Structure 1
């Protein structure tokens, strides 16, 4: 019998409540080393192939993706995770706005994609706002816990609100305002549309800026045009604003000037305290014509039953979907999504293989969940969280994989949302084996903890880990490679050029997958469940 590892974080020793197991160190290491670059590359290449067509939900690409996952998990000896099925149906509706639209403000009509992208979340063939009064509502935040309300003393019924992206903490860099440079959920576009709807607005327009959004305008063009997915709801989403969308900073500056306001001064005021302002007598008009298609997409779920506590599960997750194919685009019109997120989906298979290679199943069940429609607002994971196959009270933790490290080996591990739970301590144990240190998110302003599928688990109280990569190259050669490849990856985010490349250094991805396996292994064997930090906004419900 072997004792499980003690947990250490920096100089603090945190002892795990350990239970004995028949799985010894040799078994653990043998499985650990089954995770290899060659096999990982094979799976990435398959998911990101042109044949899979960009893996759009409810397409032939989805069918091929699910068949591939089912085949490999069956071969590894995994059982269907949803009764006798590997699939969980997710009822979706696709809304595709006609490109034949123009946003008219102050006598000028702005061009679709070039100046603005508009749409509607309502399951309706036609939505419009006509001469809707414009109101600037700062960051569009109503947060009582921060004593902040940009809608204070303001009636926006039948009006269109204009909103800054991100939150006041990012703009002010004040560590005592919200969470400083680290984006909160209040900074996410999803929240801003939701709050505008709660306030009774007719329309909601977000002003895009690359730094606070953490992505360029081209991402807005590609991600918010074409089919947009949401859930099929009885109310047809009629509780949402009629029209929602984005405008460029240049358009916003022009609009503010027409209203006799200085855009930059208004931004400064909005970053200091709750703020709103009328935009003179300016109004907005735009019509959205939707093509509606209802469909069924699927989450994939597979389980390796625990040898002793089979009803308790450690869940690994990744989203299998990407943006699909754009038939209106000339040239390369397939958004292959190799980095985002063929890498994470392939990673599920590699970690699953490591567990399957153990001579005996771990004590707790290990479950792998590949979710749909992440690119459309985390829909697959939200659906799972609302309709969990495994009860939250039986879910020990979630380990999420999204866009693995393709920049080579590193000396550290970046933890998105560091300090939120005891999973950090367990990650440090795994990092110690690789002589790596752990640190926070290198880009907290992007709000990464609220932008991937682990967030759905956190919202129902399940400790969720989102980590990987790092900033410190293992050697000079890797540092040089990182500079070159980093530019390519950033430039290809949500672009057609995000395809598989033979020159990728997958050694860093393997490092991280071994970390994730290590953390999950310890979670499956130790007695105690990980807890949220007392200051975390997430707690077991």
Structure 2
């Protein structure tokens, strides 16, 4: 490896092997090591305790409890000498959230070989509300488009050789088995499915369930959220792309299978082909008729944006972002007699970690070359809406953001001995991850739970979609007893606490692990902020 000058000097004698690669041991200059040592587990606990207190009532955006969280965090950032970097010199970025409710949804099928009209029962389909158009009524032909993926660069294109203009595409959520987990999570994300379908001229999308054992569909009666601008235009949504695509619906297995039967196809055989990386798209000899109305309830929420100004007169105009979501689920369905979703781990712990990172920077005598943004976002639980809005409408010049290090539910329930860096494999950020992990004595491992698709389920993905290299640090598998099955322990914990009222300060915590998480995320960001070159996507990467 070539050596180079920067504030963090590289040792030529200490090479640490891990994850089948070598990383250089770093020696921190100045008082960086001392400042990192000031991270206080007791302060992490105190921040989580306040943010997860019952009086904040689950930090639901648009509520008094969320505003209490905003006030607490901004006061803490002020005490840590962070400067406001929101709109108009404030700490805040306004995020207009639209809650959309679907009414009187009717989906019917007719024509073709069946030669009859078939209206699916309400338990056979579920239609998303349309956040832009209050009334939808349309009919169109049907085309099966596999997984709905169009990635010629990866050697796979479900849309090749078919015409879907003015038609509704029928797809199954999934990806070829040859795709890496983070790539699969990206191409099968609903935002991408909508974008690709629109680019090919589709006017509707139905996602069929290929699993006959799953009998339930999501219930949208409580509303689906999007972000609108000041004129009421939808600018961010997980279920809406443009007026071209009038509806998005989900179908049970029975309806999907009927499509295949009408086209003389075997659903089982086609699934096998798609998994093997062989597209199989075809016309479905039926017409789909869809009608429904949508009503709206608009609320205002806020992102919090703070700045630590860099020391280099040129590089200080560029920013390393540390992000975490401040919101949680509010008050909801009772579980074991409790209906208040406190969100202690998810994500008061992540917010507390960012506050400790800000504290490290306060104690640095010389700030890094680049500036640092501390961004607490809203609406993550609604579909990463706050981060998506900030990433696409930042309060600093968009091209000045060089990287995002996200912290979401670090799961501080056991000693942190190894990590997974979700997304780092796509960019040069893997270098800083490896260096920082080696310094802290942590090994870097592949994602132990790729089926969770965690890379696209949190706020770092919003920055990726905006072209900013990003990552999200999660736990690895190592345990003190050598069994190295932490993911199994987490799975048991998750079943009891994740997105449940039981996720409060009385649950399981390891605040020393919280300290190490904060130190690691700080150090990754610090190394990026000190590097002369900007982070970059790997050659040929899907996000490049």
Give the TM-score band, short-chain normalised. Answer: 0.7 to 0.9
Q: 2: distance between equivalents of 1:89 and 1:273?
A: 45
- TM-superposed CA distance for 1:462, in Å, is 3.3
Is structure 2 residue 356 aligned with structure 1 residue 345? no
- TM-superposed CA distance for 1:276, in Å, is 1.7
How high is the TM-score relative to the length of structure 1?
A: 0.82
Report the CA distance shift for 1:223/1:513 in structure 2 as closer, same or farther (over 3 A).
Answer: farther
Report the CA distance shift for 1:445/1:279 in structure 2 as closer, same or farther (over 3 A).
Answer: same
**1:229 aligned partner:** 226
**2:510 aligned partner:** 505
Q: Deviations over 1:489-515 (max 9, x none)?
A: 156544555444432334433322211
Q: Secondary structure at the match of 1:524?
A: helix
Structure 1: stretches of 5+ with no match in the other structure: none
Q: 1: distance between equivalents of 2:506 and 2:160?
A: 51
Q: 2: distance between equivalents of 1:101 and 1:396?
A: 44
**1:193 aligned partner:** 194
Of 109, 123, 134 in structure 2, the residue corresponding to residue 125 of structure 1 is 134
- TM-superposed CA distance for 1:317, in Å, is 0.8
- TM-superposed CA distance for 1:190, in Å, is 1.5
Q: 2: distance between equivalents of 1:209 and 1:340?
A: 31
**1:471 aligned partner:** 477
- TM-superposed CA distance for 1:257, in Å, is 5.1
Q: Secondary structure at the match of 2:510?
A: coil
- TM-superposed CA distance for 1:394, in Å, is 3.4
Q: Secondary structure at the match of 1:120?
A: coil
Query: Which segment is superposed worse, 433-442 or 252-261?
Result: 252-261
Q: Secondary structure at the match of 1:370?
A: strand
How high is the TM-score relative to the length of structure 2?
A: 0.81
- TM-superposed CA distance for 1:377, in Å, is 3.6
Report the CA distance shift for 1:486/1:222 in structure 2 as closer, same or farther (over 3 A).
Answer: farther
Of 499, 516, 524 in structure 1, the residue corresponding to residue 529 of structure 2 is 524
**1:110 aligned partner:** 121
**1:302 aligned partner:** 306
Q: 2: distance between equivalents of 1:360 and 1:217?
A: 59
**RMSD (Å) for aligned C-alpha atoms:** 3.7
- TM-superposed CA distance for 1:139, in Å, is 0.5
What does residue range 19-34 of structure 1 map to in structure 2 within 5 Å? 24=30, 27-34=31-38
- TM-superposed CA distance for 1:332, in Å, is 4.6
- TM-superposed CA distance for 1:261, in Å, is 4.0
What does residue range 347-496 of structure 1 map to in structure 2 within 5 Å? 347-475=353-481, 483-490=488-495, 493-495=498-500
**1:59 aligned partner:** 63
Q: 1: distance between equivalents of 2:384 and 2:437?
A: 29
CA contact (8 A) 1:408 1:482 kept: no
Q: 1: distance between equivalents of 2:521 and 2:279?
A: 41
CA contact (8 A) 1:317 1:401 kept: yes
- TM-superposed CA distance for 1:311, in Å, is 2.9
Report the CA distance shift for 1:472/1:364 in structure 2 as closer, same or farther (over 3 A).
Answer: same
CA contact (8 A) 1:118 1:246 kept: yes
Q: 2: distance between equivalents of 1:59 and 1:305?
A: 32
Q: 1: distance between equivalents of 2:487 and 2:541?
A: 33
CA contact (8 A) 2:138 2:291 kept: yes
Q: 1: distance between equivalents of 2:148 and 2:169?
A: 8
Report the CA distance shift for 1:223/1:352 in structure 2 as closer, same or farther (over 3 A).
Answer: farther
CA contact (8 A) 2:127 2:249 kept: yes
CA contact (8 A) 1:129 1:243 kept: no
Q: 2: distance between equivalents of 1:134 and 1:225?
A: 29
Q: 2: distance between equivalents of 1:180 and 1:78?
A: 37
**1:138 aligned partner:** 146
Report the CA distance shift for 1:84/1:246 in structure 2 as closer, same or farther (over 3 A).
Answer: same
Q: Deviations over 1:467-502 (max 9, x none)?
A: 2311111326995x8644422315654455544443
Q: 1: distance between equivalents of 2:245 and 2:512?
A: 46
Report the CA distance shift for 1:117/1:64 in structure 2 as closer, same or farther (over 3 A).
Answer: farther
CA contact (8 A) 2:436 2:523 kept: yes
**2:238 aligned partner:** none
CA contact (8 A) 2:338 2:501 kept: yes
Report the CA distance shift for 1:499/1:478 in structure 2 as closer, same or farther (over 3 A).
Answer: farther
Structure 2: stretches of 5+ with no match in the other structure: 1-5, 110-116, 235-240
CA contact (8 A) 2:463 2:469 kept: yes
CA contact (8 A) 1:411 1:472 kept: yes
Q: Deviations over 1:171-210 (max 9, x none)?
A: xx33xxx447851522212211222333343431223479
CA contact (8 A) 1:187 1:447 kept: no
What does residue range 171-190 of structure 1 map to in structure 2 within 5 Å? 173-174=177-178, 178-179=179-180, 182-183=183-184, 185-190=186-191
- TM-superposed CA distance for 1:85, in Å, is 0.4
- TM-superposed CA distance for 1:133, in Å, is 4.1
- TM-superposed CA distance for 1:15, in Å, is 9.7
CA contact (8 A) 1:50 1:334 kept: yes
Q: Secondary structure at the match of 2:347?
A: helix
- TM-superposed CA distance for 1:349, in Å, is 1.3
Report the CA distance shift for 1:45/1:240 in structure 2 as closer, same or farther (over 3 A).
Answer: farther
- TM-superposed CA distance for 1:70, in Å, is 0.9
